[in-house]
């Protein structure tokens, strides 16, 4: 039997118990047990210092994996850990052996709540998107009834509003299906997420453009936008690209893995474009109201 050498520890800890990792309670800044602390029988040399929870001595949970002899690879035994307390938990892989510097760990962790695989922070979103899908469905039915009733008085603007409602309905349905699938299977198919993200970006773009052209008087005092059509279309295209990029990174990746500068690079363009929309909408609305006030309609 080969001698056990390097030790790698997988430590599962609740967020409020992170202070129990390390030697702070032993008046030491060390994370790993030292020979001096070992003599005091406070820990064992080569292991991470963990202060057990008095109410639950098995927590924080420690799972140890050793290397055999001079082998440069080892396999961690599959473990199932039951968590009986509601909270936010972290999984850390830690080692104290300096010879393991540069260690590479590959694997997969699966976390499941009693109601499914959705993380605690995401679980309420499935209910939200389900409710919003029904709300959009009701809104769509009411709008369709009114659309048919007033068919002879329909303006081009009403078709655009119909498109926004339809996009919102599809967006909420895709997001609900994406979250429901994630909750039941534990995986997020890229195709479903990509469609949901795209519908979100398109709806946000179209709704902002619709609000902008209405504030300019389109469909009310102007039959067309005239020479500013290209500028409005360009702003909409740029906003769609920026919004799509941000949504893709947030939902297909983990934005917490990016630096502050990278995150700012993704968020800042969308924020600037939103501010541009707001300024343009209010300035256009002000000019449209002035035109309506100046124009006098005399009854005959």
One-character DSSP codes across 221-282: TBSS-GGGHHHHHHHHHHHHHHHHHHHHHHHHS-GGGS-HHHHHHHHHHHHHHHHHHHHHHH
Assess contact for 33 and 111: CB atoms under 8 A: no
Assess contact for 120 and 88: CB atoms under 8 A: yes
CA dist 20 and 16 (Å) reads 9
53 phi and psi, to 5 degrees?
-75, 120
Let me know whether 78 and 129 are in one domain.
Answer: no
Tens-digit pLDDT profile for residues 11-69:
887 777 777 777 655 556 667 776 766 666 667 776 777 777 777 767 777 877 777 66
Q: Is 102 exposed, middle or buried (0-12, 13-18, 19+ CB in 10 A)?
A: exposed
Assess contact for 204 and 243: CB atoms under 8 A: yes
Instruction: Answer whether residue 299 is part of any domain.
Output: no
Assess contact for 94 and 9: CB atoms under 8 A: yes
Instruction: Answer whether residue 300 is part of any domain.
Output: no
Question: Would you list the DSSP string of 8-60?
Answer: EEEEEEEGGGGGGBSSGGGT---SBPPHHHHHTTSS-TTSB-B--BTTBTT-S
Q: What is the pLDDT of residue 220?
A: 66
Bridge partners, 63 (sequence order): 10
CA dist 104 and 21 (Å) reads 22
Q: What is the pLDDT of residue 75?
A: 72
Residue 285: give the domain boundaries: 123-294
50 phi and psi, to 5 degrees?
-130, 130
Tens-digit pLDDT profile for residues 251-298:
776 544 555 566 678 888 999 999 999 999 998 888 878 777 766 554
Once rounded to an integer, what is the mean pLDDT over residues 223-244?
Answer: 85
Under the banding of pLDDT at 50, 70 and 90, the label for residue 121 is confident
Q: What is the pLDDT of residue 55?
A: 73
Q: What is the pLDDT of residue 62?
A: 81
Q: What is the pLDDT of residue 267?
A: 87
**Total number of domains in the chain:** 2
Q: What is the pLDDT of residue 202?
A: 93
pLDDT at 108 exceeding the cut of 50 = yes
Once rounded to an integer, what is the mean pLDDT over residues 92-103?
Answer: 73
Once rounded to an integer, what is the mean pLDDT over residues 74-95?
Answer: 76
Q: What is the pLDDT of residue 27?
A: 59
pTM above 0.85, yes or no: no
Instruction: Answer whether residue 53 is part of any domain.
Output: yes
Kindly report the length of the chain: 300
Beta strands in 59-212 (DSSP E): 61-68, 89-95
Q: What is the pLDDT of residue 69?
A: 62
Let me know whether 86 and 212 are in one domain.
Answer: no
Under the banding of pLDDT at 50, 70 and 90, the label for residue 124 is confident
Axis-axis angle for helices 123-149, 156-185 (nearest 10): 150
pLDDT at 250 exceeding the cut of 50 = yes
Let me know whether 60 and 139 are in one domain.
Answer: no
Once rounded to an integer, what is the mean pLDDT over residues 157-182?
Answer: 89
Of 44, 66, 100, the position where a domain reaches its end is: 100
Let me know whether 127 and 57 are in one domain.
Answer: no
| Mean pLDDT of the chain, nearest integer | 79
The DSSP letter of residue 193 is H
pLDDT at 190 exceeding the cut of 60 = yes
Q: What is the pLDDT of residue 115?
A: 80
Let me know whether 143 and 12 are in one domain.
Answer: no
């Amino acid at each position: 039997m080969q001698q056990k050498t390097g030790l790698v520890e997988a430590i599962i800890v609740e967020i409020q118990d992170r202070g129990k990792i390390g030697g702070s309670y032993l008046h030491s800044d060390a994370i790993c047990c030292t020979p001096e602390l070992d003599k005091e029988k406070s820990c064992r040399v080569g292991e991470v210092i963990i202060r057990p929870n008095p109410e639950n001595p098995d927590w924080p949970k420690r799972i140890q994996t050793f290397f055999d002899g001079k082998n440069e690879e080892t396999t961690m035994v599959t473990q199932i850990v039951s968590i009986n307390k509601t909270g936010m938990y972290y999984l850390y892989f830690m080692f104290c052996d300096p010879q393991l510097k540069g260690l590479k760990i590959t694997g997969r962790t699966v976390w499941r709540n009693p109601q499914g695989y959705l993380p605690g922070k995401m679980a309420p979103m499935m209910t939200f998107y389900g409710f919003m899908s029904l709300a959009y469905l009701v809104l769509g039915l009411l709008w369709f009834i009114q659309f048919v009733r007033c068919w002879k008085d329909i303006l081009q603007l009403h078709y655009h509003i119909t498109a926004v409602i339809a996009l919102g309905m599809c967006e909420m349905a895709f997001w609900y299906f994406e979250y429901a699938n994630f909750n039941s299977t534990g995986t997020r198919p890229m195709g479903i997420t990509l469609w949901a993200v795209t519908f979100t970006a398109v709806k946000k773009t179209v709704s902002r453009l619709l609000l902008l052209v209405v504030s300019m008087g389109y469909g009310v005092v102007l039959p067309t936008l005239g020479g500013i059509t290209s500028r409005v279309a360009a702003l909409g295209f740029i906003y769609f690209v920026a919004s799509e990029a941000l949504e893709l990174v947030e939902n297909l990746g983990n934005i917490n893995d990016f630096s502050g500068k990278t995150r700012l690079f993704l968020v800042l363009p969308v924020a600037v474009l939103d501010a541009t929309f707001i300024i343009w909408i209010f300035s256009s609305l002000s000019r449209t109201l002035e035109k309506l006030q100046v124009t006098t309609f005399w009854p005959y």
